[in-house]
């Protein structure tokens, strides 16, 4: 990777995604950006890697993918020039949720997330991250659960959905973790995109294995056994 900048405000202004920025904002962006020329196939950042930098694709194409619960590499998107990526840097938890590779020879600008937030929004990075955690955490968690379920079996997707519910609405129970809300089979089916009949059949198997217990209308789950379902080969 070549760290020679060779970028200026005029070059950035040619990117459609930055057309609304003022000349002074473009100049600040250019000054604070480190440009890397990356060969096809090279990794830009890895899944779960610590994230402090955001990225702007200046030329070429990059690939976002995810290693799912079965260890399979799932293609999420191919990004064109002008895209800002590496959104893990905009989360207080500061880890990349996806991996990113150069799909073709490309040129990428890297900039600290706090600096980019200041240039684009005019607020401190700390204040934005605090707001982002309050306003977007639940939506981001839901999005990641849907993405991580790609290519997984029904039982694993259902286990992921139940784990998410137990994390958000679970209360300690003598037999595991009780869900403090009433969730129907249809609700669960809609959350993972399958029929209610298929979810009912899967839940019957979960009950047989004591992964899920019904106590009247209350659902009690065993998070450890749900995790083992997800980790099964």
Compute CA distances 55 → 62, 82, 97, 138, 208, whole Å.
11, 10, 14, 24, 48
Compute CA distances 170 → 74, 78, 152, 223, 231, whole Å.
30, 37, 24, 10, 21
For residue 122, the 8-state DSSP code is S
- Give the burial string for 90-124 (b: 16+ CB within 10 Å, else e): bbeeeebbbbbbbbeebbbbbbbbbbbbbbbeeee
Pick the CATH number of 153-231 from 2.40.30.10, 3.30.300.180, 1.10.10.10, 1.10.760.10: 1.10.10.10
The segment(s) of the chain belonging to CATH 2.60.120.10 are 9-135
pLDDT at residue 33, as a whole number: 93
pLDDT at residue 3, as a whole number: 42
Between 6 and 162, the more confident residue is 162
Confidence of residue 202 (pLDDT cuts 50, 70, 90): very high
Confidence of residue 100 (pLDDT cuts 50, 70, 90): very high
In DSSP terms, which residues pair with 218 in a beta bridge?
215
Query: 9-135 in CATH: which number?
Result: 2.60.120.10
The segment(s) of the chain belonging to CATH 1.10.10.10 are 153-231
pLDDT tens column, 38-83 = 999 999 999 988 888 899 999 999 999 887 766 777 778 889 999 9
pLDDT of residue 146 exceeding 80, the answer is: no
pLDDT at residue 121, as a whole number: 84
Three-class DSSP category at 33: coil
């Amino acid at each position: 990777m070549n760290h020679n900048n060779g970028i200026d405000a005029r070059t950035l202004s040619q990117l459609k995604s930055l057309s609304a920025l003022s000349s002074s904002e473009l100049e600040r962006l250019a000054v604070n950006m480190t440009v890397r020329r990356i060969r096809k196939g090279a990794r830009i950042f890895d899944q779960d890697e610590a994230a402090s930098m955001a990225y702007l694709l200046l030329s070429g194409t990059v690939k976002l993918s995810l290693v799912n619960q079965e260890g399979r590499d799932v293609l999420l998107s191919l990004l064109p020039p002008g895209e800002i990526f590496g959104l893990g840097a905009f989360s207080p938890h500061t880890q990349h949720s996806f991996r990113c590779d150069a799909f073709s020879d490309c040129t990428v600008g890297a900039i600290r997330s706090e600096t980019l937030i200041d240039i684009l929004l005019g607020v401190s990075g700390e204040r934005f991250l605090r707001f982002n955690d309050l306003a977007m955490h639940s939506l981001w968690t839901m999005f990641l659960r849907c993405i991580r379920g790609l290519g997984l079996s029904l039982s694993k997707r259902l286990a992921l959905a139940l784990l998410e519910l137990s994390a958000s609405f679970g209360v300690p129970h003598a037999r595991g973790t009780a869900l403090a809300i009433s969730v129907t089979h249809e609700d669960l089916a809609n959350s993972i995109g399958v029929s209610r009949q298929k979810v009912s059949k899967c839940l019957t198997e979960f009950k047989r294995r004591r992964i899920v217990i019904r106590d009247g209308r209350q659902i009690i789950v065993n998070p450890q056994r749900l995790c083992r379902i997800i980790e099964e080969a």
